[in-house]
Amino acid sequence: MSNVKPQTLGTVMNNIYFKSRKTPNELVLHAGQKQYNEINVIVSNAYKNKKLPHSNPFLVQAFIKQVVNRHDNIDNMKFTRQGKILFTTKDPLCAVQLLSLTKFMETDISTDVIWENICSRFLIFDIPVNTPLEELAKEIQEKNDMDVIEMRRFLKQNLVKDMSPVLITVLGTTIPDEIKIWFINQKIQHFIDRPRQCTKCHSLAHASRICDRTNVCFLCGEEHVGPCQGPEKCINCKGLHNAKSTSCPAYIKEGKILEFKCRNHITTSEARRVYHLQNMKYSEVVKSPPASAELQNTVTLKFEALLQSVNEKFESLIQSVNEKFEKQTAIFAEMLHKTIESIMQNMYKIIVQS
């Protein structure tokens, strides 16, 4: 009998969490067979509390050309505010070469991929809780041509249920409306994070683990001991409600940002930047009159000016015609008067002679 253990798809924790055994390099190479926009590799100092030295971009390029032979496929490089370097490429092999780096210009480094750019997350419902997650991952991969990266079962504490939803992360930025498991066409639902809130200062902009502020009351937003006596005031939007209200404009805006992040496969910070940029442009458009209105105003003004000019020229023409007509009339009257006078004189001579 063989003592070789069957190869597993990944590690499982208490049948609640599953993670693929494939390395980041393997997953990135597999991503090349899926649909995505770009791969972003983040390079950080190996010591998490330190930043990478901000080197001359020319020297960085020279170094990368020495250690990454597919460097021509790097589309962009930028230094982040967190003291890291972000490389963007569409080439999985180039991304793997960047991920394999352990030193960056004499500095020990760690590398990782921004998984949001090349992955999708979705929920499936009514999965029996006694179904091993590894078996579920195998079923999904074999029946749907998907690479499962992670799975998480949602179970509420102190609540016994036979079925539960499962959150699944797969490679690729496009997912179908349904997947097939156990002969069943299972409907899926895009997973969109709910806004997360710091438990210390109740801000929606950061997590509790990186908060350096003091604890405040979520009701009034102030520091105090004992029951809150002050009026409710939100620290996020300054409105007259507590900071945990789901009707808060800041909470609603953060929800829209997270939805934008999910549907466009970008990071939260990038989604927030694009969202604010779009809203800024929209507000500028709203403040300024529409182009059609400006065009209409211009046409109206030009038409009125043209009409006034035509009226002035027409009045001048009429005046000129009237003046000429009056002169011609006067000349005609004078000629008529002389003619009549001549006729009368001739008639008088004839009468006298006869």
pLDDT digits (tens, 9 = 90+) for 33-43: 777 778 889 88
How far apart CA 316 and CA 311 sit, in angstroms, is 8
Residues of the chain with pLDDT under 50: 1-6, 285-286, 290-292
Report DSSP state, residue 203: -
Residue 302: per-residue pLDDT: 67
Q: Domain residue spans in the chain?
A: 37-117, 208-285, 289-353
Q: Is 69 exposed, middle or buried (0-12, 13-18, 19+ CB in 10 A)?
A: exposed
Q: Is 97 exposed, middle or buried (0-12, 13-18, 19+ CB in 10 A)?
A: buried
Q: What is the pLDDT of residues 41-75, one digit of tens each?
A: 988 888 888 888 888 888 888 888 888 888 888 88
The CATH class of the 37-117 domain is alpha beta
Query: In terms of pTM, does the model score above 0.85?
Result: no
How far apart CA 250 and CA 237 sit, in angstroms, is 6
Residue 1: per-residue pLDDT: 40
Query: How many Cβ atoms from other residues are within 10 Å of residue 94's Cβ?
Result: 22
> 3-class DSSP state for residue 257?
helix
Residue 8: per-residue pLDDT: 61
What radius of gyration do the chain's Cα atoms show? 41
